[in-house]
Structure 1
Amino acid sequence: MTQPAFEHLDHATLTRWLDEGAAVTLVDIRDPLSFSRGHIPGSRHVDNATVGELIDATPHDATLVVVCYHGHSSQQAATWLAGQGFERVYSLDGGFTDWEHRHPQRVAR
């Protein structure tokens, strides 16, 4: 039995999607304090208590981009979301830490 798949997403592609106004749901799974100190604009903080709301409110054909600290935990979360029936799930390579380093002007605080 194969696990539902997610795809890796690089920063350049996400930047292009955001610049083009693509319909992307950014799912930030870091802790609430880290999220409040900085996140990619338009991100939605999701944790175990709120993931059900995300699943209920998001169409399964939506594009989801999962963001964590360094791009490791997001892979597990992306796999899980794909298993919930989402068709286009991505894990942001390098996570928020790399995003903030490369795009400091594109961080909401």
Structure 2
Amino acid sequence: MQVDELYRRRNDIQLVDVREPEEWHAGRIEGARHIPMAEVPSRLAELDRTQPVVTVCRSGHRSGQAAEFLRQQGYAAENAEGGMQAWQQAGLPFTTPEGKPGKVA
């Protein structure tokens, strides 16, 4: 999914940020759920199987792998193409958990 479409649909999907904690704290999309990539298999119960899932990471590589894994588990999952780098390049809003302007780490 392209980041502009993700931004438009962000209230209708489950957005899962699979980056590491230091990346998440540097800047995240409002409303995203933080589940580091290594924890996705053990935290599937936190996701609603009836709602679409979009995964995001820094560049789209890890989140692409996570989306593929989720599809194999029966979720309607897509990857945020280009990740947080594309989100930032598009000028879309993201912040630290404290509400300060975010950066891509």
Query: Which consecutive aligned stretches of 4+ in structure 1 deviate over 4 angstroms post-superposition?
Result: none
Q: TM-score, normalised by structure 1?
A: 0.78
User: Which residue identity does 2:6 align to in structure 1?
Assistant: L
Q: TM-score, normalised by structure 2?
A: 0.80
**Percent of aligned positions with the same letter in both sequences?**
28
Match of 1:49 in 2: 39
Match of 2:24 in 1: 35
Q: Secondary structure at the match of 1:41?
A: coil
- Kept in 1, the 8 Å contact 2:4–2:90? The answer is no
Q: Which of the two has greater strand per residue?
A: 1
**Shift, 1:66, TM fit:** 0.4
User: Which residue identity does 2:49 align to in structure 1?
Assistant: H
**Shift, 1:44, TM fit:** 1.2
Structure 2: segments with no counterpart, 5+ residues: 97-105
Distance 1:82 1:50, change over 3 A: closer
Q: Which protein is bigger by CA-based radius of gyration?
A: 1
Match of 2:94 in 1: 107
Structure 1: segments with no counterpart, 5+ residues: 1-8
**In the comparison of the two structures, how many residue pairs are matched?**
95
Superposition CA RMSD, Å: 1.5
